[in-house]
Chains A and B, each alone.
Chain A
């Protein structure tokens, strides 16, 4: 699986959009981009995933560049409860085969 690069930490004001970048320059054509987040000492929580097109759900939006070498997770209106470590992961779409490779993630600090 391709590896990802994320900034170690970011700050965001409560109520503003949080934009979390991720570089995955070695991504292959059949690899999806996943985002998970982990609130202190809990298990990682699924946020969103995508292959080529931009995706949106009730939690966030995922913007993937045309060359697929980078992506951005957008939390449209960050709240204090969004303070967490956010992991960007790429993996082959073989359903329950293969493992997720977690990097160090981005610690998002949402401030009042």
Chain B
């Protein structure tokens, strides 16, 4: 049973560029949440998607946007990248009736 799959695992972007990160949830899960984790800090909640809609959002600017597809997979888009966007981006999936989240291994984004 595959867990949460994220791609790519690493990437390097230049300031001002745009990036798309992808997440496939664990089989049977229908909700996807995205977190940003800066070096040495705990993960910070970005937003959550359920039934292809953004249901909750953390304290992140509109440069951060997302999408959920009918197969429950999700994308995180970040526009106009800043150096401060360099971080590990984590995707977590969950499902109604299941307490807790399953996390992926993350995408390491470096902005230069």
Q: Give A residues with C-beta under 8 Å from B.
A: 32, 34, 36, 41-46, 49, 85, 87, 93, 95-105
The 10 closest A-B pairs by CB, nearest first: A102-B42, A43-B103, A96-B31, A99-B45, A96-B94, A102-B43, A44-B103, A43-B105, A43-B104, A95-B96
Q: Is B2 an interface residue (CB 8 A)?
A: no
A44 & B45 in contact (Cβ 8 Å cutoff): no
Contact with A along B55-66 (1 / 0, CB 8 A): 110100000000
Q: Is A42 a contact partner of B41 (Cβ separation < 8 A)?
A: no
Q: Are A87 and B100 in contact (CB under 8 A)?
A: no
| A43-B4 in contact given A98-B56, A102-B44, A104-B41 (Cβ < 8 Å) | yes
Instruction: Classify chain B: how many residues form its interface, as a range.
Output: 20 to 34
Looking at the assembled complex, report how far the CB atom of B40 sits from the nearest CB atom of chain A, in whole angstroms. Answer: 8
Question: In the complex, what residues of A have CB within 8 A of residue B100's CB?
Answer: 34, 46, 49
